[in-house]
Structure 1
Amino acid sequence: MKFDQFRRGAMLLLAAFAALLSGCTTYVTTQVTAFSDWGNGSDATRTYAFARSPSQENSLEQRTYENTVANELAMYSFKQAPATEARYWVGLTYSIKGDMATVSQPVYYAPPPAFGPYWGPNPWGPWGPWGPYPSGYVTQSFPVYTHTLGIRITERTTGKEVYNVTARNANEDPSLVTSMPYLVRSALDGFPAGNGAVRTVKIAVDKNSGASNEVAAPTPAAASGAASASAPSASPKPAQ
């Protein structure tokens, strides 16, 4: 009987904590690494076509992500053009990788009152005789998925790489589709970033689980372990 009372008290405590968290604004946090040799090109020269590897050529997933990237590039005066007229190739790489994360959390128990009945307003509170006491830790494992997007911009006529950015975030969502809007916005946020720039970009999640218009100010992130986006094939086949 006492054990059931103790367990019920601990569950109430956890429920109150979850309710508190539910009122907080949720953000998607993305690590962004950019390498740039953009120069001072005018807006009139920001024409591009998408470069595709053979596996991307007939992919509906590829076209869906291209539309998302095109919408974001338009915010920076980029315009799509026929492959023979575009100044730039824009190549995309993307991936999702699953792993297991392990965390340790404290476990609480509530001992029975030692000195008779308690007449306070909240016997389950921190100062009550049935209040929670730490008794140890429990280890739990859960899946974590890392979503990665690379955007590489090269000059069509010379093949010179002028911009290469990688955006990466991790959460419990096994779908790359739902993370792509956040990856794209984060990757191109503040375009063009300086060469070797490493930042953390936070984007608020709206009530419809999409990317909202609120972007938190980016903060510096550790440069170690950052990787640039891989290039498309040496002779990409442009969109027709």
Structure 2
Amino acid sequence: MNPIRTARRLWPALLLGAAAFLGGCASTVSTQVTNFNAWPADAAGGTFAFAPQAKGNAKELEQSTYEQYVREELERLGLKSAATGQVARFMVEVDASGSQRTVRSLQPMYQNYRTFIPARSGPNGTVIPGYWSADMIGGQYLGDREVARTLQVSKLRVQMRDRKPNAAAPVSVFESTAVYEGGMENLPDLVPYLARAAFDSFPGRNGQTREIRFDMQGGANAAPTSVTPITPSNAIR
């Protein structure tokens, strides 16, 4: 009897399932941060305050929480929060936002066949039962299919302006944008990591985008697990 080949399963379903499982087990937060600065040499010990919120802001408490994360980073760098009624040297603006985008890619599909080995006679009149065995030829390429994935995009933008003496208006001396793009996460859970990324290696190199990873098990206060300069080939698009 000739071997019988039959389709048993499609690999993409297994691959997608494995990817989802691994994604759910992720233990790091990956961010990309870009800084621009004209940081003054005499800024050590300077005071700072946050820009006043608009009246009737429906997210006043949420905004205050994000500003607190930034405050902790600035104080860690040696700056001081201005006392009530004190005119701060640096005015700080914090803007956190979240959105979603869909990315599409082509994924190869393979049909994996198995071969049925029929029953046959064994020694002493016994019968060896039939069984399924992997096809020695391997999976057959069927083509590509488009796969869509929804990504969470969370951003934290921080801008600092210096109230220089005799200046007509405060001058921007530090601008940072930290971005998370990946699985669905709540914005409030990500902002602590984005704040850490924004001030990592402060004030940073002008115009350089870096990938900064944090260990979620260690919390947002843990040191980055890795810092990698971003090139056009690995930048978020």
1:180 CA displacement: 0.9
The residue aligned with 1:238 is none
Cα separation, 2, equivalents of 1:65 and 1:42: 23
Indicate yes or no: 2:204 matched with 1:202: no
Indicate yes or no: 2:200 matched with 1:180: no
Q: Which amino acid aligns with 1:70?
A: R
Cα separation, 1, equivalents of 2:56 and 2:74: 20
**What percentage of aligned pairs have identical amino acids?**
29
Q: Any conservation in 1 of the 2:114–2:133 contact (CA below 8 Å)? A: no
Question: Over aligned residue pairs, what C-alpha RMSD do you find?
Answer: 3.7
Unaligned ranges ≥5, structure 2: 120-131
Question: In 2 relative to 1, CA 205–89 (structure 1 residues): closer, same or farther, beyond 3 Å?
Answer: same
User: Where do 1:139-154 residues align within 5 Å?
Assistant: 139-154=146-161
Larger Rg: 2
Secondary structure of the corresponding residue to residue 189 of structure 2: helix
Secondary structure of the corresponding residue to residue 62 of structure 2: helix
The residue aligned with 1:52 is 52
Q: Any conservation in 2 of the 1:204–1:212 contact (CA below 8 Å)? A: no
Aligned residues: 213
Q: Which amino acid aligns with 2:197?
A: S
Q: Which amino acid aligns with 1:151?
A: V
Cα separation, 2, equivalents of 1:34 and 1:55: 30
1:129 CA displacement: 4.2
Q: Which has the higher strand share?
A: 2
1:163 CA displacement: 0.8
TM-score (norm. length: structure 2) = 0.72
1:49 CA displacement: 0.9
1:133 CA displacement: 3.8
Secondary structure of the corresponding residue to residue 76 of structure 2: helix
Provide Cα deviations, 1:5-44, integer angstroms capped at 9, x if missing partner.
712x848954995599479864322221111111222532
Unaligned ranges ≥5, structure 1: 227-240
The residue aligned with 1:218 is 227
